[in-house]
Amino acid sequence: MKIFSIEIVNLNCTGIVLGSVTPKGNIGVVVDDFSFSVYERIGCAIFSTCNGLVHIYQHAPGTKGGFGGSKIQLRIKEPSVVFPKIQATRLHTFHGDLWDGWEADKKVSEHLGTSLFNIGVKKLRDRNSCYRSVKATAKFMDVVGKAVVLGSPYQGDFSAELNEVSA
């Protein structure tokens, strides 16, 4: 993943978006590509990672109002039914029982062993899209911090250290 631009918005005051307060200094990052295709489950948390970005849902079975009760399909990694030592992915469908919750954020942060920060991310070629809300790991924020220097911008491929290494 290559970072193309970083936008820091709302620097002078606390804002309001959809009736919720937005803090000063929200960060929006434009990257060439990112994908959250395979998710993992830890307790109530369902999450996926992509080069320092993390997307998290909190599963609350029996509820119906999450994300407006919309139908969300996720590929979740779990043990195979026939061979339990082998990991497989299954497509699960959720109807309003997925939420954006702090309990899931905390579990994923502990599991990954890093702090998580709220940022917005969008793809370079998505001209009409808005920033998608995700979490960023401390390593990703360190890379972004190297690029955001007031007064003297740094030019170059500062995102090279984010590339994941396959196991």
Q: Are 63 and 99 in contact (CB under 8 A)?
A: yes
Along the chain (167 residues), what's the average pLDDT of each consecutive run of 10 residues? 79 61 74 91 95 94 88 92 86 92 94 92 81 90 72 54 60
The strand pair at 116-123 and 26-31 is best described as parallel
pLDDT at site 151: 46
Greatest Cα-to-Cα distance within the chain, rounded to the nearest angstrom: 59
- Amino acid identity of residue 161, one-letter, is E
Burial class (CB in 10 A: 0-12, 13-18, 19+), 156: exposed
What residue segments make up the domains of the chain, in order of their start?
3-150
pLDDT at 129: 76
CA distance 117 to 137: 6
Tell me what pLDDT residue 82 has: 84
Query: Could you give the CA distance from residue 32 to residue 125 in angstroms, rounded to a whole number?
Result: 8
| pLDDT given for residue 135 in this prediction | 93
Q: Which two tokens stand for residue 88?
A: 């497989």
Q: Is the pTM of this model over 0.85?
A: no
User: What per-residue confidence (pLDDT) applies to 162?
Assistant: 64
